Amino acid sequence: NAGVTQTPKFQVLKTGQSMTLQCAQDMNHNSMYWYRQDPGMGLRLIYYSASEGTTDKGEVPNGYNVSRLNKREFSLRLESAAPSQTSVYFCASSPGTDNTEAFFGQGTRLTVV
Amino acid sequence: LAKTTQPISMDSYEGQEVNITCSHNNIATNDYITWYQQFPSQGPRFIIQGYKTKVTNEVASLFIPADRKSSTLSLPRVSLSDTAVYYCLVGDVIGASKIIFGSGTRLSIRP
């Protein structure tokens, strides 16, 4: 089973460039999440989607947009990348109602120069 | 969302039992307590979840006192491979979806 798949695994951007991080899950989960993790720090929630068709801001949404394309896919877009967005980005999914056990992807290491 | 407080770091030795305590004084009636483990360069992995008293699985035990204002993750007979960051989370699982991580406890196991 693939679980949660993120693409790409690594990316280098120049300041001001845009890009979309892709995430897909094959567990028929309702909820999906995007987190960022800076070196030596904990995870911070950027955006989440409780169910298909809904998205909500997390702790640090500024500079990001998301799209819940369908039940399987949840993408994160950086419209104008900044060096402060250099981080490891994790996508996760969970069944949602009555069960918040989350399953994480392998992460995308993003560097903005 | 209830805020959690846990030690920044802990050290132990192989074969020992390790107990990591998390404080969550403002836990709400519907909140569950969940623990995750994260190895370097990997996403967190669910360990255990509980509401009250004691929960045990093949990996760990979770002890929750009656007032639920704290919880203790117990790892029996740790090995070097248990070196990781452990996160305590508190949140409503009934119809809720927001999963917030704190700063975690960095556990180092020595030979």
Q: What is the pLDDT of residues B60-79, one digit of tens each?
A: 999 999 999 999 999 999 99
Average pLDDT, chain B: 91
Between these two residues, A7 and B101, which has the higher pLDDT value?
A: A7
Q: Which amino acid is at B99?
A: I
Give the pLDDT score at B93. Answer: 62
CB contact under 8 A, A43 and B101: yes
Give the pLDDT score at B88. Answer: 93
Residues B106/B10, Cβ–Cβ less than 8 Å: yes
Cα gap A68→A66, rounded to integer Å: 7
> What residues of A are in contact with residue B95 (Cβ under 8 Å)?
97-98
Mutate to test the interface with B, among A101, A103, A106, A108 (most CBs of B within 10 A): A101
CB contact under 8 A, A103 and B98: no
What tens digit of pLDDT does each residue of B79-103 get? 999 999 999 998 876 555 678 888 8
Q: Residue A35: which region, alpha, beta or left (left: phi > 0; alpha: psi -120 to 50)?
A: beta
| pLDDT tops 70 at residue A98 | no
Pairing of strands A108-112, A10-13: parallel
Of the candidate ranges A52-61, A91-100, B49-58, B92-101, the one whose mean pLDDT is the lowest: B92-101
CB contact under 8 A, A105 and B43: yes
Cα gap A20→A9, rounded to integer Å: 12
Please count the residue pairs, one from chain A and one from chain B, whose beta carbons lie less than 8 angstroms apart. Answer: 69
CB contact under 8 A, B102 and A42: yes
